[in-house]
Amino acid sequence: MADIPDRIIIKRHLDLEGRRHQIWWRHAIVALLAVFLALGLANVFGQAQSETHADSGPASLQLNAPARLRGGLIFTARFTITAHTDVENALLQLSPGWADGMQINTIEPSPLGEASRNGDLLFTLGHIPAGQKHVLFMGFQVNPTNVGSRPVDVTLYDGGKQLVHLDRTLTVFP
């Protein structure tokens, strides 16, 4: 039999003494990676659309937008307002989380007016006759450095009167 090569220790490199556990570490990390991928498949890291809905007597408000996103993603938020009675002067108020660290690419159809109300974004949509819908689309892109959770609440007013409020949180993964 030939001499044992230099630096090869039979116990460690052939019998794997003290190295048996290493393979389990490897399996554990691969399993962890598989769990991470499964979470990705399950939309834990975005960006599937999710729906939030609120109803009041005069109107209902439905929001369709992702609740979880990642840096750099492009997405659309759809606000559907259904007037059950005449809404004379619909105003849509969005919390600053909608614009903070986001690129607002487009707002369609353009609101009649835009303003700031105590730090929130305020869009004037105008008259929505009873039984009709007003659908507002907003296109965004997430700033890659914009990481974390923030409230993205939406409130619908008729003039000064609050009609519907949606509580929502948006989480951005790095």
- The site for other proteins (CB under 8 A) is made up of 1-2, 4-5, 8, 10, 12-14, 16, 19, 22-23, 25-26, 29-30, 33, 71-72, 144-145, 174
| Shortest spacing between CB 84 and other proteins, in angstroms | 44
CA 94, 97, 98, 103: dihedral to nearest 10 degrees? 150
- By DSSP bridging, strand 113-117 and strand 148-151 are unpaired
Question: Which lies closer to other proteins via its Cβ, residue 32 or residue 135?
Answer: 32
Q: DSSP alpha helices (H): ranges in 16-150?
A: 20-41
Euclidean distance between CA atoms 75 and 112, whole angstroms: 23
User: Which contacts (CB < 8 Å, 24+ apart) does range 22-28 have?
Assistant: none
Question: Which lies closer to other proteins via its Cβ, residue 33 or residue 115?
Answer: 33
Question: Which lies closer to other proteins via its Cβ, residue 4 or residue 44?
Answer: 4
| Shortest spacing between CB 128 and other proteins, in angstroms | 38
Question: Which lies closer to other proteins via its Cβ, residue 47 or residue 64?
Answer: 47
| Shortest spacing between CB 43 and other proteins, in angstroms | 19
| Shortest spacing between CB 159 and other proteins, in angstroms | 41
